[in-house]
Each structure stands twice: as structure tokens, then as C-alpha cells.
A and B are shown apart, each in its own frame.
Chain A
Amino acid sequence: MKVLKNIIIILTVLLCLAPSKSIAQREKIDDLRATFIAKHLDLSSGESEKFWPIYNELNDKRKAIKKNYRQNLKSYSPSSSDKEAEDLINLENKSATAEAELLKNYNDKLKLVIGAKKLAKLKVLEEEFKLEVLKAQKEK
């Protein structure tokens, strides 16, 4: 009985400390994208072994850029100062440059692993994935 009581106390504390829903939800779209691409890209097991760690790393970095920019965008209001407006525009420019450079760098790496043809197919699949998600949302 005493053990059960202790378990209930610890469970309650853990549930209170449990992380917010948003982190878990953000991971959901990555899982779906990965499943979609894995299904259609026809990678050999050797290619798959090297491709996914690099592709995941690229996505993590792109997400970090977008999240950072969006957070700054959210905190901006019409009453913000001219300097804050300038900073926001600079951040957008910097983010766009960083993303473009990342893409170039990682495209080079991915091309070494899966070749240009499959890399081009990946780009097509990424677009198709967007449409699939939007279509599924519309149906709901």
C-alpha cells in the first residue's frame, strides 16, 4: 500500500513536469515526411544508411532557422521601434542566406551519397509531400 502511494505521488510529479505538447507535435510532421520519402525514393540499404543522418541534420538546421525567424516575427508589433523593424528585416535576410547556403552545402553532400537523379527526385517528393498533407487537411 505504501509502495502504491509512493508510485502515485511520483507519477503525479512526473506528469506535472512532462514536456509541452508543442515539441512532440513538431516532431510529427518530420516522421510523416520521412515515411513518405522512404516509401518513394527507392534507396538501397547502403544509401539509406548514409542518407538519413545527413538529411535529418539538414532538416534540423532548416527548422531551427525558420523557428528563430518566426519567434522574432511573433514578438514584433506595430508599436515596435524603427530599430526593431530594421532588425527583423535583417534577420529575414540573414535567415534566407543561411538557408540557401545550407541547402547548397547539404545538396553537395547528399549528391555524393545518392547521386543527382535521386536528389532531384527527393526535391520532387518534398513538394508532393506538402500537397499530400494539405490534401489530407482539406479532406478533414
Chain B
Amino acid sequence: MLNTLTNTKQVLIIIGAFVLFQVEIKAQSAFDSLNLKKAKHYFKTTIFLDSYSKANQKFLKQKETNASNDSIIDRRLGSFGVKQFNLGFYTPIYTRTYYNSDSTVYSNTHYLLTGNFLSMRPTFDSIKDHTLLKYGIGLRIIQNTGKKGVWFIDIQPFTTTDITTKTPNGYVRMANSFIYSHNFSQKFNMRFGLTKSFMWGNRFFLPYLGLRIGKLDGVNFSMQIPKNISLNIPINDKIRFSIFSKPQGGMYSFLNNDSLYYFRPEAKYFNFTHYEILAGIRLDLVFSKNISGYISSGSSTRSNITFYSMEKNSRRPNVPYKLFFYEKSLSPTGFFNFGFVCRFGKTKSYNNDKNMYDVFDINNVNGVGDVNTGPGNTEIPIKKSIKQSKLNLEDIQDLIDVTDQ
């Protein structure tokens, strides 16, 4: 008797599940039969331009009894400044959205194609400016579990080359990140992971530790070690202000056409590394949902440049690959940075979806192409009241029903 009852219950559950499934299919079928054009992605194709400059700093003369490599090359260079221009983009190539088994949790996975083209011009007094390029195409996968977590995987191969003369030179490198972000609440988030980056002047495998206090669409303090530390204050939906500190730098190929590597004149090129810690303020201006810009200024500290030849070092026994033949640390100076961001396309809605806000944030904090600059979180909307908004008749058309009295 008990067995029969259990069997009947199981059959009823199966029939119930089948009926529910049929309802789901039927409910979708009328919608699907309309063959409507729908947005496929949550990310808009985003192109951003960034210009950074730092004035030349004269090298202080040092009293030395014996002429060292450093003092000889110091005299050759005289000063150091930076002019940098970066054009970057990311575009969604595939987005998978689905419900978890209980049909109440909505999760999604985003595959983004990323790319950048960076032109870096270190300016020295006594030698002709070199134009160093760093460019590449990469892939990002961001998985929003729909509950508390977001997974982030970034693969960024890039090439560096010096195009000052036609001499072939350059290296291929890879920067990667693997991060897990956990939203304990809307106001508290932590991130853990690993990153391989060159922005600290050389190849480093670093742990990633992130902490955010405050909502992403409000005032928040974000510490994303080793990428940046910032206090973000949205003034209104058009203006966002932030105070930040972040590293900037990279490893580049540098031609030896000026014979800076004077005791190895046969070397055609060597490695040039540079890093600095920027501390300053940034103002983001949102002109529309798709166009924004920013200006930023502050102080460049702990600036450091090095020259070394990996090729030559690797031929010497018991010598580390990055044994510098020249190193210079510079005193703090000012910098100026501005950028322009343009977004294209229509996306699925993500209003008040805090996990999606975290997806956007993790994508923006981790600059494309291992360049520590980005378009900012301008796709996260800042709340605005109905009275503050400028609506036209087309906007409110959907709100009026013919049956309304």
C-alpha cells in the first residue's frame, strides 16, 4: 500500500514537472514566434583613448670618484619624461545567460575580446626620442554566479617593440589574472586571486587582494592590491570624482641605436623598464550613456627606470636575467592624464543588479592590455529622481495605456 502511494507520488511529481515544463515552453513560444531582435550582451563595445604625460626631470649631478655605468649613461640621457598614448577596447563576443535549477537564480558568463595599442615615448635630453609600442589582443571570461560570486579570468598576450628605426626588435609577453570576487553585501566586497603583470616595471607574479566598502553606485572606498586604491565619490549622475593611488609602468623593447649599452655595442636592443606610483584626483564626466571623458592629475612618485639585456645576461653564468646595466630613481613630479570613452550598442538591462555592477567593476579595475588605466565605472548608473530627469514624450510612450482612464 505504502509502495503504491510512493509510486503514485513520484508519477504525480514527474507529470507535474512535465506540465510545468510545458507551461514554460508555451509561455516562451508566443514570444519566440515574434522573432524579435533582442540585445545579446550586457557589455557594450567600448573604445577608450588615454593620454598621459609627465614633464622632463633633470638628473641631478652626482660626485663620483670612479665613473660607473650609471653616471656615464646619466650624462648621456640628461633627463627623463614620459608621453604616453593608449587606445584600448573591449567587446562582448559571447554571453551565456541561464537560470539555475530552481529557476530563481539568473546567472551569466561573459566572453570579451580585448585589445590595446600603447605608444610610450620616454623623452631624454640628449638622445632622440624613442617610440616604444606595446600592443596585443586578449580574452576575458567573467562568470557571474547570480548569487554572491564573480569569477574573472584575463589572458593578455602582448608585443613590445621600438619603432624608432627599422631594426627588427621586440618581445612577446603574457599578462594574466585570475580573481574571485565575493559580494558579502551590497556595501562589502572582497576579492582574491593571482595576477601576472608587468606594470611594476618587470614580470611579477603577485597575489591579488581586493576590498571594497560602500556601494558601487554610491560613495565607496576600494583597495585593489596591486592595481589601485581609490575613494570614489559620485557627485551626481553626470560627474564622478575620485582620489586614487596606483602603479603605472611596463617593460619595453629599446633599440641600442644611441649606443646606450656602450660596452656591448653589438646588442641591437635591450629591455627598458619603467614604473611609478601615481597619486592624484580624477574627474569623470558622463556626457551621455555612451560617451564619457575624464581628466586626472597629481603626483608621480617612486619613479624608476632600468636598462638590461635579458639576452646578454642569460649567456653569463650565475647572473639573474634582469641584471641592470643602468638604473635610475627619480624624485616626485606632477603628471597630467585625460581620456575619452565611447560605448556602442544596446545591452540587456541590469538596473539594481548588484552582481552585474560587480562584473563591470572587476572588468574596469583590471585595465586592458596590462595598462593600468581604464574607462571608469560609468556604465553603473547613479540614482536620479524623476523630477531631476529630462524625459520627452517618446520616453513615456510605453507608460500610457489606451485602457487608462
Contacts and interface: CB of A to CB of B under 8 A. Distances in A.
B214 to A, nearest CB: 15
Interface in A50-97: 50, 52-54, 56-57, 59-61, 63-68, 70, 94-95, 97
- Interface size class for chain B? 35 or more
Contacts of A125: none
Contacts of A25: 392, 394-395
Contact of B34 (A24, A68, A70): A68
B132 to A, nearest CB: 13
A28 B104 contact: no
Given A49-B147, A50-B106, A113-B104, A31 B391 contact: no
Contacts of B27: 101-102, 104-105
A139 to B, nearest CB: 8
B346 interface: yes
Interface in B71-95: 83, 85, 87
Nearest to B50: A7
A52 B398 CA distance: 20
Nearest to A64: B36
Q: Which 3 A-B pairs have the closest CB atoms?
A: A34-B351, A105-B27, A24-B289
A14 B30 contact: no
Given A36-B386, A94-B30, A7 B348 contact: no
Contacts, number: 174
Interface string B105-123: 1100000000000010100
Interface residues of A, number: 65
A88 to B, nearest CB: 14
Given A3-B51, A130-B399, 16 more contacts: A11-B49, A19-B345, A23-B346, A25-B394, A29-B395, A30-B349, A31-B384, A50-B106, A54-B104, A56-B348, A56-B350, A56-B351, A64-B38, A68-B34, A101-B27, A112-B102
Interface in B27-77: 27-31, 33-34, 36-39, 47, 49, 51
A114 to B, nearest CB: 10
A40 interface: no
B236 interface: no
B171 interface: no
A48 B355 CA distance: 10
